[in-house]
Structures are given as structure tokens and as C-alpha cells.
A and B are shown apart, each in its own frame.
Chain A
């Protein structure tokens, strides 16, 4: 790790290390608490009506406020615009990376985010007994929670994962429907 002459860069880098290290500690703790990886995956994301505590989802519903206040993006008119904002603004802002957007479905309701580097998995290796763990599943919960707060019901899931030996990390985003004005079924 090279010495950074610029104090600002160094402290920013360490700050993002703080997040990734804390996330690692959380995943490790969850693996201790729950017997199998499926339960841990659910904890990290939160499946509807599960009694598990929603992690990513809860972070997402709050993160969206922070995002909207910090960035100057207006309302997105369609899913393509949403994809652009997620990849070029949100990911850049919070994780310092810009995933590429590919594999649009013909109907324009599905796309993939390709992450060359996933900052969450710096220095992380999956041990053999956790091969089905979706380590970065928090990201899917965050995306789902955040978009729900702007009235979009989406599904987000990992289809490729560098931790599992794939060349890149790929998150598949699928637009399900627009949420009308009633509040979501409070997933707390």
C-alpha cells in the first residue's frame, strides 16, 4: 500500500476501509449467528415477510434521503435514467466506483450492473464452507430499499461474483412495478 502524500485522499481511503472492514465484521458475526448461508444471505438483504432483521433494505431507505440531498438529480423518467443515476452518480458517490450498464432486456425493464472491482471484497476470500454466501448481498438490499422509497419496486440479485471465481461482479436489476402512493408494507 503506497504512502499517500495528500492527507485528504488518505483519510478518505481509510474512511472507505472503515466501511468495508465493518461490513466484513458484520458478515463474520452473522455467519457465527446463523447456521447456513441462506439465512445469512437473507439477513443481508431481507426477503419479504421473513422474521429476519432487514439490513440492506433499512440502510437503503435511509440512504436515498442522503443521496437525494447530496446529489442534484431530479426525478427519473424511466428505468434507463434510473440505471444511469445508480451507476454514474450513486455508486460513484458512496463506493467510489462506476459500474457499467449492460444487457438491457428488450422491454427495457432489466439491466445488469457490472462491477470490475467490488470495494466490499477487498482482501476478502470466501472459505470453502461458505461457498453459497452472497457476501455483498447488502448491496441488493440497499438498492431495493432505496428505489422503493422513490416508488419503484425492483428486484436486485447477484448473477456473477468475483468472490466465487467469476471474472466480474454482476448485479441484475429488474423493474417489477411502480409503487403507488400508499406506504410500503413496513419491512422493519
Chain B
């Protein structure tokens, strides 16, 4: 059981739909959602919000949650271990990002048109690739586009997602912000992997300024 007042905040984030009557076996209905949201030893568990995502997205979201919990569960506490876990998740995301781009051959065709040449058009090509990441890539992975893209035109891009799908199930309490980084690592890798297969070497970092509404 979570300590103190934390139990309440875990259970009331977002528009929770209550289970339709008679559809669940008595045990589930009586206990509500709480018994199935056991705290993992990492001290954090995210809620599951139903009915707004496509079923196959449900599988991915659950798998991602399990990966994050699992990576942390088998590690010890501490800064160094935390860094190792983040790296592991990021590396897994990297492989997946590479794979997604590799398989998306129709897009590769498009991107070939924007391949780097060694001239001043370089940044324009880069911008086109970043726009692709913000629109097509983000939509097919997260069912929505990036809300805001900014750049200093010197190789730095800031992608802003106001309703990041891997975090929308979490409670908005401040104590969960520090855990958000675990849920961002995979996605950073995903972007880095995708960009890598598009011919761009990058460093991708992420931060959460406030939990999605």
C-alpha cells in the first residue's frame, strides 16, 4: 500500500471511467481499480485509463510500463543505478526507433529527397526531417503530432508535446515529476534511433515541466 495521502492521488488522475456494471466479475468490481494498481518496489505505478486509446496501443503502453518497472525492479537504488536504467531504456528505444524507420520504406523514399548535401541547404534538409519526426513519426507512434517545434537554426530543436501519451495516465502530483524521466528515456531513444536511420546523429534529452492535463 502506498504511504500517506499518496493513495488518493494515484487513484484520481484524469477522467477515470468506472467499470460498467455487471460486466466485471464481483471481485474486480468490488475492489475497484485499486487492488490492481499494486505499488512496485520502485515506488511508482501508473494508472490505466481505458477506452480512449486503440486496443493495439493498449498493448504497447502496457509493455512499456512493464519494461520501465522491470528495469528498475532488478536494479538497486542510487544515482549510478538510476543512470544505468535510464540508459538501458534509452537504448531499447533507440533500437525500436531504428526499426520503425527501417520498415517505413515509403517514408524513406520521401526522405531520400532531403538527404544531406555538403552545402548550405543542410539545415533546410534537417528541418524537413525534424518536421517529419514531428508530424508523421509522432502521429504513427503516439496518434498525435508534436504541438510545437522550435529551433535556433543552428542544429538545436525543441519538440513540445502538451499531452504526451506515455505520461497521461500519471497523477499530476509533483512527487511524480521525478519519476517521469523513466518514462521519457525510451522515447528519447526512439527519436534518436529514428533520426539515426535517417542519417542524422543526435543527442535527445527530455524534460517534463508539468504533467499533461
Contacts and interface: CB of A to CB of B under 8 A. Distances in A.
B50 A65 contact: yes
A62 B36 contact: yes
Nearest to A32: B88
A22 B92 contact: yes
B67 interface: yes
Interface in A2-31: 3, 10-12, 14-19, 21-26, 28-29
A117 to B, nearest CB: 15
Contact of B51 (A55, A59, A69): A69
A181 B56 contact: no
A126 interface: no
A150 interface: yes
Contacts of B141: 14-15, 18
Contacts of B26: 181
A127 interface: no
B67 A65 contact: no
A73 to B, nearest CB: 8
Main SS of chain A's interface residues?
helix
B24 interface: yes
Contacts of A62: 36, 48, 62
A58 interface: yes
Contacts, number: 130
Interface string B41-61: 000000010110011111110
Given A53-B73, A68-B24, A181-B26, A94 B55 contact: yes
Interface residues of A, number: 47
A177 interface: no
B56 A94 contact: yes
A183 B35 contact: yes
Interface string A56-87: 00110111011011101011000000000000
B59 A63 contact: yes
A15 B17 contact: no
- Name the residue in B17, B59, B92 with the highest tally of chain A Cβ atoms < 10 Å from its Cβ: B59
A42 to B, nearest CB: 12
A188 interface: yes
Interface in B82-119: 88, 91-93, 95-96, 99-100, 103-106
B27 interface: yes
Given A22-B60, A150-B25, A151-B25, A15 B54 contact: yes
B40 A188 contact: yes
B38 A12 contact: no
A166 interface: no
A41 B176 CA distance: 32
B96 A66 contact: no
A68 B54 CA distance: 14
A97 to B, nearest CB: 12
B153 interface: no
A95 B55 CA distance: 9
Given A14-B100, A17-B103, A24-B99, A96 B56 contact: yes
A107 interface: no
Contacts of A3: 106
Interface of B: 17, 19-20, 22-28, 33, 35-36, 38, 40, 48, 50-51, 54-60, 62-64, 66-67, 69-70, 73-74, 88, 91-93, 95-96, 99-100, 103-106, 139-141, 143
19 contacts: A14-B140, A15-B141, A21-B96, A22-B60, A25-B95, A26-B63, A65-B19, A66-B55, A68-B23, A68-B24, A69-B20, A70-B51, A72-B23, A96-B56, A149-B25, A149-B28, A149-B36, A151-B25, A181-B26
